[in-house]
């Protein structure tokens, strides 16, 4: 349902020529960013000059009335008059840096939906802490339906590639790989923002043209607390629209059961096991939660069995929590081969973990939350794809065979050799 009242952007006439607080401090060099804005006539303008502060921004805007102001997520040697990405006739621009930005929106505009967005943003912030090559910069309230999380990329090699087109393409590919891991982990973000080196994002300190609320940098401590506790501290234009507490859903002929929002503010405990085959140098079992886009457990298992046949993986065990499916191939597979197989079949998170950490920790238990208790139990489905044993060339992993048995799915072993020691590597993990 749309807001009962609408913000009139005409009241912004002259707004940016007065004293206002645009945030430039989070940019290392504002003069290397491109600035764009939407005007009253709904047309876009790009700054024809470099902008370093509020004063030069006002000069760049001139007599136009910006309703929404944006800044590039990339830094360029020359951000003025950037050629289009597919303009092969123009000389490629020099990409100096590209921020990793995640956009989380939960429409429509309401406090209730902002709380859902806050929990999602807090969950993603906690999840990203495992990646030390990305340094958290800041988080902003967008001025409307969600939050933007900003990170600096500390891996600088790709920004030193001499071929400028290859440099930008390499950065985009790295962002796409990270985005796939984020989505595979269950985080809902705007897929268009993170991987696009030419993307622009709303500039903190400027007014959202539809709500009149101001895009504002908030601290992480706020993000951990319920939105209703600090919504009153957010800045807004005097003529801004009120943010309703709830939005009444439209009546339709069909209803869809909504999955309850995860309580990310609760501490959660679970058991994880390593894919590494203990007692070997570079062998791993294939243990992974199947991607959500593989569908319901029955459809996911069908796709996984096809994978087992194509790769000749041998007997494979499956469990489900009712929504997602856990798959275990208890074989001692050379890590280099497993990386290629995981990448080819869309397991981007497993690919990354194996390449960077030489193994992956995988949850094999329900999660215990402090307040809400246990989530859904893991239910054994079956041991399938036994017919591929005859073509499987990898020895059994003794530790992962024992793991499958302990989890209720013992396997009939053929004459193939067994590798490693018996006891799997396990840990109890506590996450907030």
What is the pLDDT, as a whole number, of residue 81? 85
What is the distance between the alpha carbons of residues 398 and 423, in angstroms, rounded to a whole number? Answer: 8
pLDDT confidence tier of residue 252, bands split at 50, 70 and 90: very low
Q: Average the pLDDT over each of 101-115, 152-166, 213-227, 237-251 and give the range with the smallest value.
A: 237-251
Spatial separation of the C-alpha atoms in residues 226 and 254, rounded to whole Å: 31
Confidence band (pLDDT; 50, 70, 90) for 263?
Answer: very low
Calculate the average pLDDT of the chain. Answer: 88
- Return d(Cα 215, Cα 217) in angstroms, integer: 7
Q: Which of residues 5 and 45 earns the better pLDDT score?
A: 45
- Give the model confidence (pLDDT) of 347-368 as tens digits: 988 998 998 889 999 999 887 7
Task: Specify the pLDDT at position 373.
Answer: 55
Query: How many other C-beta atoms are found inside a 10 Å radius of the C-beta of residue 177?
Result: 16
- The terminus-to-terminus CA distance of the chain in angstroms comes to 34
Cβ–Cβ < 8 Å for 392, 314: yes
pLDDT band (50, 70, 90) for residue 256: very low
Q: Do strands 216-218 and 134-141 pair parallel, antiparallel, or not at all (unpaired)?
A: antiparallel
Q: What is the pLDDT of residues 412-427, one digit of tens each?
A: 776 778 999 989 999 9
Query: What percent of the chain stands above pLDDT 70?
Result: 91
With beta carbons less than 8 A apart as the criterion, state whether 331 and 323 touch. Answer: no
pLDDT tens, residue by residue, 189-220: 998 899 999 999 999 999 999 999 999 999 99
Confidence grade of residue 150 (pLDDT, cut at 50, 70, 90): very high
The answer on pLDDT for 250 being more than 70 is no
Residue pLDDT, tens place only, 53-92: 989 999 999 889 999 999 999 999 999 988 888 777 889 9
Angle at 267 between CA 265 and CA 271, to 5 degrees: 140
User: What's the pLDDT at 1?
Assistant: 36
Q: How confident is the model at residue 4 (pLDDT cuts 50, 70, 90)?
A: very low
Q: How far apart are CA 135 and CA 113, in angstroms?
A: 28
pTM of the full structure: 0.62
Q: Residue 431 pLDDT > 90, yes or no?
A: no
Q: What is the mean pLDDT of residues 226-253?
A: 83
Q: What is 9-233's CATH topology? A: DNA primase, PRIM domain (3.90.920)
State the span(s) of the chain assigned CATH 3.90.920.10: 9-233
Residue 63: per-residue pLDDT: 87
Whether residue 195 contacts residue 179, with contact meaning beta carbons closer than 8 Å, is answered with: yes
Lowest-confidence segment of 13-22, 24-33, 215-224, 227-236 by average pLDDT: 13-22
Give the pLDDT confidence score for residue 102 in this predicted structure: 97
């Amino acid at each position: 349902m749309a807001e009962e009242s609408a913000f009139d952007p005409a009241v912004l006439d002259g707004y940016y020529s007065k004293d206002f607080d645009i945030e430039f401090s989070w940019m290392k060099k504002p003069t290397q960013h491109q600035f764009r804005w939407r005007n009253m006539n709904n047309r876009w303008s790009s700054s024809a000059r470099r902008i370093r502060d509020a004063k030069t921004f006002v000069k760049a805007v001139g007599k136009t009335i910006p309703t929404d102001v944006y800044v590039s997520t990339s830094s360029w040697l020359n951000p003025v008059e950037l050629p289009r990405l597919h303009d092969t006739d123009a000389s490629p621009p020099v990409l100096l840096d590209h921020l990793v930005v995640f956009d989380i929106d939960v429409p429509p505009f309401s406090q209730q939906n902002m709380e859902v967005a806050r929990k999602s943003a807090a969950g993603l912030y906690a999840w990203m802490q495992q990646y030390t090559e990305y340094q958290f910069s800041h988080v902003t309230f967008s001025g409307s339906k969600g939050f933007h999380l900003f990170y600096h990329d500390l891996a600088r090699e790709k920004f030193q590639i001499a071929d400028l087109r290859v440099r930008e393409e390499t950065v985009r590919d790295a962002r796409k790989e990270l985005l796939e891991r984020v989505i595979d982990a269950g985080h809902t973000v705007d897929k268009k923002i993170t991987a696009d080196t030419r993307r622009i994002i709303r500039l903190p300190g400027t007014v959202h043209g539809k709500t009149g609320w101001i895009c504002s940098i908030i601290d992480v401590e706020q993000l951990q607390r319920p939105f209703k506790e600090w919504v009153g501290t957010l800045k807004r234009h005097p003529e801004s629209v009120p943010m309703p507490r709830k939005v009444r859903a439209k009546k339709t002929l069909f209803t869809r059961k909504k999955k309850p929002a995860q309580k990310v503010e609760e501490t959660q405990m679970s058991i994880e096991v390593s894919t590494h085959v203990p007692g070997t140098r570079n062998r791993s079992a294939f243990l992974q939660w199947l991607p959500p886009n593989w569908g319901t457990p029955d459809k996911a298992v069908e796709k996984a069995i096809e994978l087992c046949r194509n790769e000749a993986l041998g007997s494979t065990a499956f469990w489900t929590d009712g929504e997602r499916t856990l798959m275990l191939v208890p074989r001692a597979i050379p890590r280099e081969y497993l990386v290629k197989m995981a990448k080819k079949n869309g397991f981007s998170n497993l690919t990354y973990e194996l390449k960077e950490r030489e193994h992956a920790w995988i949850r094999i238990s329900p999660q215990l939350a402090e307040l809400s208790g246990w989530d859904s139990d893991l239910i054994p489905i079956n041991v399938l794809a036994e017919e591929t044993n005859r073509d499987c060339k990898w020895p059994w992993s003794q530790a992962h065979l024992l793991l499958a048995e302990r989890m209720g799915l013992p396997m009939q072993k053929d004459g193939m050799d067994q590798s490693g020691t018996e006891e799997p590597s396990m840990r109890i993990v506590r996450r907030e």
